[in-house]
A and B are shown apart, each in its own frame.
Chain A
């Protein structure tokens, strides 16, 4: 079980790396760097640490066949088809689509972030404090 879990974590890190490259091609270099360093690096480290605290589950669960598992959730491909239809509307009928906004003379990301979105920065600070408190509350061993 642990091998399959490590495979999932490596898959997540690879997805982050690919996404980072896509973001760089879409002219967003700062977000790409952030995504690469944080999501590919830090998250994988955190996940591997967490997994190392747990043990492998018992063998009985591996006997459940894959097809039974997938059949329970038949509605997810239905959602896929419905969203595909919605998107087709968007693409086939261009009068639904908004006129393109004028690209404004672009300010730098740094000036937008630090000058006009102060509340988001405060939100990040408070979020990190909440995360620190969560680690203190949740990760403590209960003294029985």
Chain B
């Protein structure tokens, strides 16, 4: 049953490429149905436990896949963000052929990401991280404009360096453990503590994953790649690809497979805190909306890494909840930027002054998105940040908790300055409409903001059923 998450998109990819005219015309609807099925399956898991069913193709292929609560949260986030990205693509890509290429590449990304969250072997994890990265290189350069060349190339070089670090680390794990599955590496950690080989391997893998996640000081590729990509690709990249390929691997490996020694904890804490502060300061000085959102993404990923470094189960649960919230509200903000680009033709904040009265839906939903990012109650961002800060306090790291609190104020500062410049100032006479915001964009904005608001308001219900069980995965 679990391999259907991987094999069904692959089957759809083959079917879409058959030379039948009807299938090509309805490629958008077929992909929509598949992603909706993924979202609904995850939501129905408590009612109809499909993960216990044995694999359909188990006589042909033996895939070592398994599901736990962390995987379910990831699958839900992948389904929602990929669906939103598909709707944005329908509205913003005009050429039929380019949209068809986008849907194919989106399906490959979804195959890669589903496998990353389902797999329990470190080399397969690496292979599918590479698959997702290659698909995202091609996606960034889908619309062939000048800025995309630089974005793609920087991402390519840094991803290549990350690849080399991760491969060397995998070689050392083979030396230490003999087999590359999570269970054998975990037992190798427990049998020999403080071993030099394991230390080298863990730090190399950590460097590789930091580059892939965009943690400071390895974040150089992220603002260029996010701002140069076309609108639908930015939603996909910021919402899910960078996070699943980088941050999910950090959460899974450092939470359940590797043992967090105090030295490692302090490195991860420092990197997280450094990311939060540096990216927030850099976002204050940006002129382009998408670059500011990219720096804000780096800052929020810093929160997740900070919570991981804290080392307690409550912080781990807070990190996963913040991951999910960030996927939702960052996609919301990128859809807003797509709407602004579609209507006014540019994302430069200096040119967009005073647009608030012309696009009411976008300005309202962007307000919800920014309040959730900054952590204002009762939206969902507030609860996840609260869990992280409480966990930091209760484990005695007061300095880091103070940094996390103060950075919320910085987040509020740059977002409010953006809102003031773009939406709530007086309308410039030079600002003209070059198009109308399509219905699909408005629909996805409203849907995402409803999810953010509802997740915040029913938090008490979510807390006992979804969030506390996540603590059990830690070690």
* A–B proximity contact (CB within 8 A): yes
Chain A residues with a Cβ under 8 A of chain B: 86, 89-90, 96-98, 101, 115-120, 122-124, 126-127, 129-131, 133-134, 136-138, 142
- A127 cross-chain contacts in B, Cβ below 8 A: 127, 130-131, 134
- Measured in the bound complex, the distance between the Cα atoms of B196 and A89 in whole Å is 9
Q: Which of A86, A119, A126, A136 lies in contact with B63, CB distance below 8 A?
A: A119
Q: Is B402 an interface residue, CB under 8 A from the partner?
A: no
Does B197 lie within 8 Å of A97, measured CB to CB?
yes
- Measured in the bound complex, the distance between the Cα atoms of B64 and A69 in whole Å is 49
Q: Is B182 an interface residue, CB under 8 A from the partner?
A: no
Q: Given A130-B131, A130-B135, do A119 and B197 touch, yes or no (CB 8 Å)? A: no
Does B101 lie within 8 Å of A119, measured CB to CB?
no
- Measured in the bound complex, the distance between the Cα atoms of B53 and A42 in whole Å is 44
Does A118 lie within 8 Å of B10, measured CB to CB?
no
- Measured in the bound complex, the distance between the Cα atoms of B61 and A112 in whole Å is 14
Does A119 lie within 8 Å of B138, measured CB to CB?
no
A43 vs chain B, min Cβ distance (A): 15
Does B111 lie within 8 Å of A126, measured CB to CB?
yes
Choose the segment among B86-94, B115-123, B311-319 that binds chain A (4+ C-beta atoms closer than 8 Å). B115-123
Q: How many B residues touch the partner, as a band?
A: 35 or more
- Measured in the bound complex, the distance between the Cα atoms of B62 and A134 in whole Å is 29
Query: Can you list 10 A-B pairs, Cβ within 8 angstroms, ordered by A?
Result: A90-B196, A96-B197, A97-B196, A98-B176, A118-B62, A120-B123, A122-B63, A123-B127, A133-B135, A134-B138
Does A119 lie within 8 Å of B192, measured CB to CB?
no
Does B101 lie within 8 Å of A123, measured CB to CB?
no
Does B134 lie within 8 Å of A131, measured CB to CB?
yes
Q: Which of A115, A120, A129, A136 lies in contact with B124, CB distance below 8 A?
A: A120
- Measured in the bound complex, the distance between the Cα atoms of B176 and A126 in whole Å is 30
Does B101 lie within 8 Å of A98, measured CB to CB?
no
- A131 cross-chain contacts in B, Cβ below 8 A: 134
Does A137 lie within 8 Å of B141, measured CB to CB?
yes
A1 vs chain B, min Cβ distance (A): 20
Q: Which of B61, B112, B130, B138 lies in contact with A137, CB distance below 8 A?
A: B138
Does A129 lie within 8 Å of B108, measured CB to CB?
yes
Residue of A nearest to B200 (CB): A86
Q: Is B229 an interface residue, CB under 8 A from the partner?
A: no
A31 vs chain B, min Cβ distance (A): 13
- Measured in the bound complex, the distance between the Cα atoms of B343 and A99 in whole Å is 66
Residue of B nearest to A131 (CB): B134
Q: Is B178 an interface residue, CB under 8 A from the partner?
A: yes
A-B residue pairs, 6 tightest by C-beta: A123-B127, A96-B196, A119-B124, A134-B138, A118-B61, A130-B108
Does A136 lie within 8 Å of B61, measured CB to CB?
no
Q: Is B128 an interface residue, CB under 8 A from the partner?
A: yes
Q: Is B195 an interface residue, CB under 8 A from the partner?
A: yes
A99 vs chain B, min Cβ distance (A): 9
- Measured in the bound complex, the distance between the Cα atoms of B126 and A123 in whole Å is 10
- A97 cross-chain contacts in B, Cβ below 8 A: 196-197
Q: Is B105 an interface residue, CB under 8 A from the partner?
A: yes
Q: Is B104 an interface residue, CB under 8 A from the partner?
A: yes
